Structure 1
Amino acid sequence: MIKPIALLSLLTLGFGVSYPSMALPLDKIELPQGFTIDVYAENIENARQMALGDNGTVFVGSRKAGNVYALIDSNNDFKADKKIIVATDLFMPSGLAYHQGSLYVADVDKIWRYPNIEKSLPTIPKPELVYNKLPNKAHHGWKFITFGPDGKLYIPVGAPCNVCESELPFASILKLDLDTKQTTIVAKGVRNSVGFDFHPQTGELWFTDNGRDMMGDDLPDDELNRVSQTGQHFGFPYIHNSKIADPDFTDPQIAKLNTPPVLTLGAHVAALGMEFYQGNQFPAAFHHSILIAQHGSWNRSSKVGYRIMQVELQDNTVIGYKPFATGWLDGEQSWGRPVDVMTLADGSLLVSDDFANAIYRISYTKP
């Protein structure tokens, strides 16, 4: 039986009834002057990658929960007031993308399409199986997917281990032609990319990559990489950060082919979702800079990450790397873990958090 005092804190506006939870301590989040952070949606279990529909629907994947959500802000107050569960019991459907009216959802080993989904909601369209030839290994098997400027669907296939030698398509990023069902290996030697985007001017693919574990607190760094030529090798498992030889695996020939990272991001920070900011709300200094969600360390003696970082660029050259949003980590205790970033139509930024089960909105008002 629910006590009367608890009943007051139950959420009922479009989200159904849920157990009461403590308010998220957003006052701990530190942002540059002029920026504010608010809750866009709560009780989004294990929120991972986001995708934006043509009509403003925010679609959210999950990993542990196995769900896909559709969030609707029906009164345009920048808070979702309707949550529709699109799918349940999928195989780590962390990654999703919206393209030409349809929602694409990545299981570990399959890609599904929900056609004309925004026109159908709240009715869920019958999913169509688009591709079913991905490996079914759960270790680093969850995906981050997006469509490139070429109209192809880009899909990472993580290494099925902490560090090991494995056959392609493991440890790679590939692209799928939806018409022919043919795949092309875009990048090799990629341990586990859970975030990428395309440079708004060059169209080149930039991606984050998580470094291996069990080499100590400070080695190797996570990486920000740029694909300048299809099929480039980025070192894993033989070379880390372009210069650190792996203690367990060697291949001098591949080591010579290793493509250096554009930027090293810090060891164990768990760099995940990233995006070139192309909105019109943030100051001009943010235009075409990269915002990276760092999920945070899990096996370091002192925790790092748990923040949003900004990478400043001049053309294809990194000229700055600094914190944008911090405060999810308080000493050695964390109350949230950022996963993905996505710009809304008004230029504000959404951030998903799979630990606090929330979506935040960061906005800017000129001081």
Structure 2
Amino acid sequence: MFFNKIIVSGLLLFSAGPAFSQPGRHQDVIEQLQLPAGFHISIFADNVPNARSLALGDNGTVFVGTMRQGAVYAVQDTNGDGVADKRHVIARDLYMPNGVAYKDGALYVAEVNRIIRFDDINKRLNNPPKPVTVYDKLPSDQHHGWKYLRFGPDNKLYTAVGAPCNICNPEKEIYASLVRLNPDGSDFEIIGRGIRNTVGFDWEPVSKTLYFSENGRDYMGDDRPPDEINQWSVKGEHFGYPYCHGGDIPDPEFAGDRKCREFTAPVWKIKAHMAALGMRFYQGDLFPADFKNQLFVAQHGSWNRSKPHGYRVVLIKFREGKPVSEAPFVSGWLTKEDKVLGRPVDVLEMPDGSVLISDDELGVIYRVNYKK
């Protein structure tokens, strides 16, 4: 497998070569990555250009959304050796199809302006059906328009509509919101507001409480405001944007007479510009017991900080339902010389308890395994 580099408008893209997978092709990157003792990382799939959000289908099929690539993929490890040996293109030429979710044999895909569905997809990977439109009344703004998509414990589809700017006060209430709807597109409702941009959320396994990542605004300095992990509790909650950031930082342009105490504060703060994206609570039994029900968060990495940071996956430890600490789990995608080797986006737990991590810079999916 090889990729040809293509430069388009300053972005480094990759076009896939003819073969499927050469697990050793990115061994130089793998050798730079650091994990806790007993954990091992390898390449699960290396021909998924711009790989972003991940969803688990039947029989271990992994569905992969993209952003600038405009494609949706499915990858399979049919012989169980920890390396994907089949790849299927489910769709092309979509509008930033970042979000993917799977339920009852159907693949749901979130484009910027709509949610679509591919029915009976696991039986039709080689000949995907035409998608059915589930909901098509979302804004079409590209700025913060790409979406995460998950099914909640209530069997509803959850997604978010980001602010169409770095910092502004949008006139339409749909912007900067967390929303949910039924799988058939009915009963669309806004359940949270004041959320600049979330591209990752999950439910704590014991309490079934929804937690989501949020990226702070730009151009307030290298270290302000923080990225956030927020907890959603009741419909109508407001999380502060654009008036307040991090629970205690009034916005210099929009705060006015609004006070930070009016809004729901984050339950955990992440260093500014880390770009916290996909997140999953670990529920498997493969990793040591102290990883159970703890939160993995992919930090995509800063893009405009004077000295870059992030580019890692962290573990946020919870105790009695509250986050109490944060520590690197996989690091090394940012070298000591500030060279970027990869950018993690999403995290997915597999049926065997291993964990997959997508990387939209290299166009690969890693697999993290544990052996005593």
Give the superposition deviation at 1:249. Answer: 0.4
Mapped to 2, the partners of 1:105 and 1:178 lie a distance apart of: 12
- Residue identity matched to 1:36: H
Alignment CA distance shift 1:306-1:238 (3 Å): same
Residues 1:269 and 2:270 aligned together: no
Q: What is aligned with 2:89?
A: 85
Alignment of 1:328-347 (within 5 A): 328-331=333-336, 332-347=338-353
Would you say how many aligned residue pairs link Structure 1 and Structure 2?
Answer: 354
Give the superposition deviation at 1:256. Answer: 3.6
Aligned-partner SS, 1:329: coil
Alignment CA distance shift 1:50-1:22 (3 Å): closer
Aligned-partner SS, 1:212: coil
Conservation of the 8 A alpha-carbon contact between 1:235 and 1:254: no
Q: What is aligned with 1:177?
A: 182
Mapped to 1, the partners of 2:91 and 2:30 lie a distance apart of: 30
Residues 1:324 and 2:329 aligned together: yes
Q: What is aligned with 2:198?
A: 193
Q: Give the TM-score normalised by structure 1.
A: 0.93
Mapped to 1, the partners of 2:165 and 2:19 lie a distance apart of: 43
Q: What is aligned with 2:6?
A: none
Q: What is aligned with 1:63?
A: 67
- Residue identity matched to 1:283: P
Deviations 1:304-341 (A, max 9, x none): 10000101011222222111110000021111000000
Residues 1:306 and 2:311 aligned together: yes
Conservation of the 8 A alpha-carbon contact between 2:90 and 2:125: no
- Residue identity matched to 2:63: F
Aligned-partner SS, 1:269: coil
Give the superposition deviation at 1:179. Answer: 3.9
Alignment CA distance shift 1:264-1:22 (3 Å): closer
Deviations 1:33-86 (A, max 9, x none): 000000000021100000010211110010010000010111111111111111
Worse-superposed segment, 166-175 or 335-344: 166-175
The correspondence for 1:75, drawn from 74, 79, 99, is 79
Q: Give the TM-score normalised by structure 2.
A: 0.92
Give the superposition deviation at 1:184. Answer: 1.6
Aligned-partner SS, 1:273: strand
Aligned-partner SS, 2:307: coil
Q: What is aligned with 2:244?
A: 239
Alignment of 1:24-63 (within 5 A): 24-63=28-67
- Residue identity matched to 2:159: I
Q: What is aligned with 2:136?
A: 132
Give the superposition deviation at 1:224. Answer: 0.4
Mapped to 2, the partners of 1:24 and 1:155 lie a distance apart of: 36
Residues 1:103 and 2:115 aligned together: no
Aligned-partner SS, 2:58: coil
Conservation of the 8 A alpha-carbon contact between 1:13 and 1:81: no
Give the superposition deviation at 1:244. Answer: 0.3
Aligned-partner SS, 2:143: coil
Structure 1 gap ranges (5+): 1-9
Q: What is aligned with 2:358?
A: 352
Mapped to 1, the partners of 2:318 and 2:131 lie a distance apart of: 40
Alignment CA distance shift 1:179-1:43 (3 Å): closer
Conservation of the 8 A alpha-carbon contact between 1:41 and 1:359: yes
The correspondence for 1:364, drawn from 355, 366, 370, is 370
Alignment of 1:147-296 (within 5 A): 147-166=151-170, 167-179=172-184, 181-253=186-258, 255-296=260-301
Mapped to 1, the partners of 2:298 and 2:202 lie a distance apart of: 13
Give the superposition deviation at 1:23. Answer: 4.7
Worse-superposed segment, 37-46 or 309-318: 309-318
Question: % of aligned pairs identical?
Answer: 48
Mapped to 1, the partners of 2:241 and 2:191 lie a distance apart of: 15
Q: What is aligned with 2:124?
A: 120
Give the superposition deviation at 1:252. Answer: 3.5
Mapped to 1, the partners of 2:164 and 2:133 lie a distance apart of: 24
- Residue identity matched to 1:159: A
Worse-superposed segment, 129-138 or 309-318: 309-318
